[in-house]
Amino acid sequence: MTLEKIYFLFNKFFFHFLNLVKYYIYIIMVFLESYLHYYSKNVLKSWFVGNPLNETKHIFNEFTYTENLYNNDNIIFEYCIVKNNEYNSIDYSWSDLLGDGINTINPTYQELKNQDINVIAVVDIVIMDKGKPKYFLEVMNKSPVSSIKLKKLKKLGMKNLYEIDANYIMRQVGVPNTLKYEKLI
């Protein structure tokens, strides 16, 4: 075997090995959310919700909402976006679409996929106004919302999509007076 052939086979093997490593990293990143992303979403939710008695709920001027009359689930995590002839989760909550409109229903991506419902995107946080989706928030950890996702959501007619930096959230001591964000749509 010549040196050139060995070099060629090594490069071929190495190329496939790198692709395999990239694939496993992608799988890990999809299924294992980072602590920074997870906790920054929870901190952000706490700024809107306040304490358990809801006595110190903080209202940011740019994000006002009226609470649902039936329950206190006004901030929803990992909200699936579906818009077709049968479902419209941009304008109606999953509680209205799949339930009685009273009890909170927030199906996961996998649950909808198992029902053959095509999920277009998943948004980190949705703030409900009187039980209807009003503000869609993405918490940015390492990379901003992709241009492909933005185009899809714009095309579906989504309004009020915001991006908030996870590092900004976690650097705060207490609730900030103003919320630093970027309005994407």
Domains of the chain, residue spans: 1-32, 34-183
The neighbouring-strand residues paired with 138 are 163
102 or 96: which carries more pLDDT confidence? 96
pLDDT confidence of residue 13: 62
Residue 111's Cα: distance from chain center in Å?
16
Q: Is 75 helix (H, G, I), strand (E, B) or coil?
A: strand
Sequence-separated (6 or more) residues with CB below 8 Å from residue 180: 164, 165, 168
pLDDT score at 35 = 84
Q: Positive or negative, the Cα torsion across 142, 144, 147, 148?
A: positive
- Torsion, CA 145, CA 135, CA 31, CA 98, rounded to 10: -130
pLDDT in tens, 9-51: 666 666 666 666 665 555 555 455 688 888 899 999 888 875 5
Q: What is the pLDDT of residue 122?
A: 94
